[in-house]
Structure 1
Amino acid sequence: MSTPLEVEPGSQSAQPEAVLDGVKKIEGRSLWQISWTRLKRDKVALAGGVIVLLLVLVAIFAPLICKAIGITPNDFNQKLVDSSLQTPIGKLGGISWDHPLGVEPVNGRDILARVIYGARISLLIAVLATTVSVVIGVVMGIVAGYFGGWVDSLISRLMDIFLAFPLVLFALALVGAIPDSILGLEGDALRVALIVFIIGFFSWPYIGRIIRGQTLSLREREFVDAARSLGARRPYILFTELLPNLIAPILVYSTLLIPTNVLFEAGLSYLGVGVRPPTASWGDMLSIASKWYQVDPMYMIPPGLAIFVTVLAFNLFGDGLRDALDPRSR
């Protein structure tokens, strides 16, 4: 046996609180705090996020910005256009203090104002279409991954069918077949709703496959077995236990899906099935620029650069967000 420790009379043993006094307490961090710390270290992703935020603000406050600058998107300035050549007067496409990016050929509409207003259409359609596809894809993916069996087989074959659709050709045919007014919608509202439906309804299988794969892994975890053993119903398990653990891939894929939809909307507008003129759209501006690039090549740069910066910013931010939310990254 060991000899008991002898304590001198009058001495006092140190209390645990006294020993720990002055020692910095270690606080636990949640997954979101850890992810935010990782994201702050990625300067490129932060730069992309800042650009995305600025684009959103420009789209929201487009009327106020144009009013403050003193430009309008649809006013004709034919006095700034050469009547014989139908090209802007002056160098570099008619760039001046009043028109920082110049004016369009033929009608002389301000390019900067149309680029700013074009951001509203592109981001509005991209965000709404992404929301529709994410909602449908997440629901179908969770149901297919959790239930398995014939339910999984049916939804998976449905995904294959939608992925086999020639989306561009279908959009061209559908836009041409839809009347000018339907369900109380007409004009630009009808075109926006139609494009959102086409993109969102036919692109959900992409995220649906990802969510299905994640659900197949999560349904075997202990917390799902615990909820099932306590008598939890299937909707509770799907949307209370599984869905919160799928937020990370949903956020990451959404940020990568938005630029894809921006490009798709621009492509439809370029082909003439997007919003109707005179509503500004980046794709429509590129379509007009393609007819005048030999005599006015500067007109192609602003809308093309706007699309390039938007897609690049979303992709950079999405890549950084994916790395930040990946628990296996260091």
Structure 2
Amino acid sequence: MTAPMDVTGSQTEATPESVLDGAGGAKAIQGRSLGQIAWMRLKRDKVALAGGLIVVVLILVAVFAPLIVGAFGQDPTQFNSDLIDSSTMAPKGGTGISAQHLFGLEPVNGRDIFSRVVYGARISLLIAFLATLLSVIIGTLLGVTAGYFGGLVDSIISKAMDVFLAFPLLVFAIALAGIVPDTAFGLAGDTLRVALLVFIIGFFNWPYVGRIIRGQTLSLREREFVDAARSLGARGPYIIFREMLPNLVAPILIYATLLIPTNVLFEAALSFLGVGVRPPTPTWGGMLSDAVRFYTMPHFMFFPGMAIFITVLAFNLFGDGLRDALDPKAR
């Protein structure tokens, strides 16, 4: 390395000390973890960030539903018969929308729609999250076991996946939810209905996660770090939980965010068919079921329908952005 020419036009060699001083003054290059790289990609996707922000808002609404209803609404089970026209059974003024009732009133009984939509978020999101968690746990454990061990184990688990995927889930859910009594397994009321729906939706949806994790495991088990762990004497459980599962976090997280909106729709469908959480506990699907009889009052159907639409859209947008951030080669 040479120093710049001096005023006399001569050129002198730079001393080793000056080279080291210059190198020491430069800013060191810092490495980035996979999480930091994924976050940088996700930040560039404004649509996914908007979906994630809406998801956070929905979760906060569900968690703080009593506070929100206390400030902007009223008890979701409270009747307001004095605000209902006795001749048409419709809210006075057509919808009943006012400063006290932001989304209007239900026909016949006059319950506040805003309060019921807010409280409905608690049931819908709780069932969707718990059912997704159950599906992910079962599907991940069976999928990684089938993919790693192969042979007879893989054959048995794969055939079980095929059986569950061919099962008429909606018909079974209607039948099972309809025959379970009001008290069973030490549970009763809404707690029993929520637990039943979580079991039905979560347990019978695990093959969708299992097939994806099995395919990822089949490729991971041939990688060098797995061979190195085997050569050092590591057993199957250690390799599965300490070597493979950390490398499966990305597909698990991606599929979970895409499975939640599906479970929201499934819970709404069961509530719409009358086999979900029973009245007077508000659910979005149950509100839609009640609104069918009053098709001349579109506000009754509009707000719970929009709640379902926004929730599903937000989770799908965020899930797509997360998939692109964690697996850019899939774009």
Q: Identify whether the pair has TM-score above 0.5, normalized to the shorter chain.
A: yes
Cα distance in 1 between the residues matched to 2:285 and 2:196 = 17
Cα distance in 2 between the residues matched to 1:306 and 1:122 = 10
Q: Which one-letter code corresponds to 2:319 in the other structure? A: G
Determine whether 1:220 maps to 2:227.
no
Aligned to 1:236: 238
Q: Which segments of 5 or more consecutive residues in structure 2 lack a partner in the other structure?
A: 1-13
Aligned to 2:50: 47
Deviations 1:5-63 (A, max 9, x none): xxxxxx95326531313212110101110000000000000000000000000000000
Deviations 1:154-190 (A, max 9, x none): 1000000001111110011111221211121011100
CA RMSD in angstroms comes to: 1.7
> Structure 1 residues 12 and 24 mapped into 2: Cα distance closer, same or farther (>3 Å)?
closer
Cα distance in 2 between the residues matched to 1:16 and 1:135 = 57
Cα distance in 2 between the residues matched to 1:59 and 1:282 = 13
Aligned to 2:304: 303
Cα distance in 2 between the residues matched to 1:232 and 1:16 = 48
Aligned to 1:162: 164
SS at match of 1:76: coil
Cα distance in 2 between the residues matched to 1:264 and 1:235 = 35
Aligned to 1:64: 67
Cα distance in 2 between the residues matched to 1:15 and 1:132 = 63
List aligned pairs for 1:1-330, cutoff 5 A: 12-14=15-17, 17-91=20-94, 93-294=95-296, 296-328=297-329
Q: Which one-letter code corresponds to 1:153 in the other structure? A: S
SS at match of 1:101: coil
Q: Which one-letter code corresponds to 2:240 in the other structure? A: L
SS at match of 1:59: helix
Cα distance in 2 between the residues matched to 1:13 and 1:168 = 77
1:329 CA drift (Å): 6.4
Aligned sequence identity (%):
69
When the two structures are superposed, what TM-score results if normalisation uses the length of structure 1?
0.94
Q: Which one-letter code corresponds to 1:191 in the other structure? A: R
Cα distance in 1 between the residues matched to 2:279 and 2:116 = 11
SS at match of 2:96: coil
Cα distance in 1 between the residues matched to 2:97 and 2:46 = 34
Q: Which one-letter code corresponds to 1:275 in the other structure? A: V
Q: Which one-letter code corresponds to 1:232 in the other structure? A: A
| Conservation of the 8 A alpha-carbon contact between 2:65 and 2:118 | yes
1:71 CA drift (Å): 1.8
1:327 CA drift (Å): 4.4
Deviations 1:130-158 (A, max 9, x none): 00000000000000000011111110000
When the two structures are superposed, what TM-score results if normalisation uses the length of structure 2?
0.94
SS at match of 2:16: coil
Cα distance in 1 between the residues matched to 2:43 and 2:330 = 14
Moved over 2 A (4+): 11-17, 327-330
Q: Which one-letter code corresponds to 1:102 in the other structure? A: G
Cα distance in 1 between the residues matched to 2:68 and 2:152 = 54
